[in-house]
Amino acid sequence: MDFTRQRYRLVRLLRETHAIKREIVENAFLAVRREEFIPLEYHNYAYENNPLPIGYDATISQPSTIANMIEAAGVSSGEKVLEVGSGRGYLLALLSDIVGPEGKVFGIELVPQLAEISRAKLKKYSNIQVTDGDGWYGLEAEAPFDVIIVSAAAKKIPDKLIAQLRPGGRVVVPVNYLMAQKMMLITKKEDGSYTEETIGLYSFVPLRSR
Ligand code: SAH
């Protein structure tokens, strides 16, 4: 089944609602086929603006939420990006397209089966590397990063991730707040201190530990 028309329609909606702001992000959403990153039984829903189950208690986030996170972080060409909780790899594929051949994308995923499924799907992307593990601790070996996107809800601001940013780097992370999560944009300054901004309220699966 070819979903090109549905994909273009969703991207138009994301543009009109200002979830997508930049052309580089629009092009990534047009290039990556979301149906490749969800189980077959949900393919017909791939281009609804909704989260979908991807197995192992995980969900692929709502496209507008993903666009908001990418735009808040200001991910750009040539950057080095880490996604914590990379699931089946949809956001990794978008990030790969945005950072391009000069950039590099790392994913860390707690559930080894999901990490394996994503690696199989992402073979054609030469700038992506997926590691199994607890992303609460980041990915020290590859630090520092320009951007870290956390795709699961944190109980508090993850200091260890901020430590793995270069000066000027950004973390986007949903942090528990009442019954939902407030999406925070954390920007690291030259002196190592950081600023916090709240982007909005969202709902995410929790960040777990092994
Ligand atoms: N962005 C992904 C889906 C994210 S769902 C996609 O596009 O497919 C959130 C993911 O976070 C789940 O896959 C879950 O297994 C993972 N996760 C939860 N706690 C984690 C942790 N401590 N470290 C790494 N991954 C974690």
- Supply 63's token pair: 């496209």
Tens of pLDDT along 45-58? 999 999 999 999 99
Tens of pLDDT along 171-180? 999 999 888 9
Is a pLDDT exceeding 90 seen at residue 209? no
Q: What is the DSSP letter of 110?
A: S
How sure is the predictor about 65, in pLDDT bands with cuts at 50, 70 and 90? very high
Is a pLDDT exceeding 80 seen at residue 210? no
pTM: 0.97
Tens of pLDDT along 109-160? 999 999 999 999 999 999 999 999 999 999 999 999 999 999 999 999 999 9
Mean of pLDDT over the chain: 97
Mutate to test the pocket of ligand 1, among 96, 122, 207 (most ligand atoms within 8 A of CB): 207
pLDDT for position 43: 96
Ligand 1 contact, 79 CB (< 6 A):
no
Reply yes or no on whether 203 is catalytic.
no
In the chain, which residue ranges form alpha helices assigned H by DSSP?
4-16, 23-31, 63-73, 90-99, 112-121, 159-163
Is a pLDDT exceeding 80 seen at residue 80? yes
Ligand 1 contact, 147 CB (< 6 A):
no
- For helices 63-73 and 23-31, the axis angle rounded to 10 degrees is 140
Q: Find out whether 45 and 52 touch, Cβ atoms under 8 Å.
A: yes
pLDDT for position 73: 98
pLDDT for position 93: 98
Ligand 1 contact, 63 CB (< 6 A):
no
Q: Find out whether 161 and 140 touch, Cβ atoms under 8 Å.
A: no
Q: In whole angstroms, what is the distance from residue 12 CA to residue 146 CA?
A: 28
- Supply 23's token pair: 């052309």
- Rounded to the nearest angstrom, the distance between the alpha carbon of 191 and the centre of ligand 1 is 31
- Rounded to the nearest angstrom, the distance between the alpha carbon of 166 and the centre of ligand 1 is 23
Nearest CA to ligand 1 atom 1: 86
**Residue 194, φ and ψ in degrees, nearest 5:** -145, 160
**Lowest mean per-residue pLDDT among 12-16, 20-24, 204-208:** 204-208
Domain boundaries in the chain? 4-202
- Rounded to the nearest angstrom, the distance between the alpha carbon of 151 and the centre of ligand 1 is 6
Is 4-202 a domain of CATH 3.40.50.150? yes
Q: What is the DSSP letter of 191?
A: T
Ligand 1 contact, 106 CB (< 6 A):
no
Mutate to test the pocket of ligand 1, among 109, 139, 183 (most ligand atoms within 8 A of CB): 109
Q: In whole angstroms, what is the distance from residue 88 CA to residue 111 CA?
A: 10
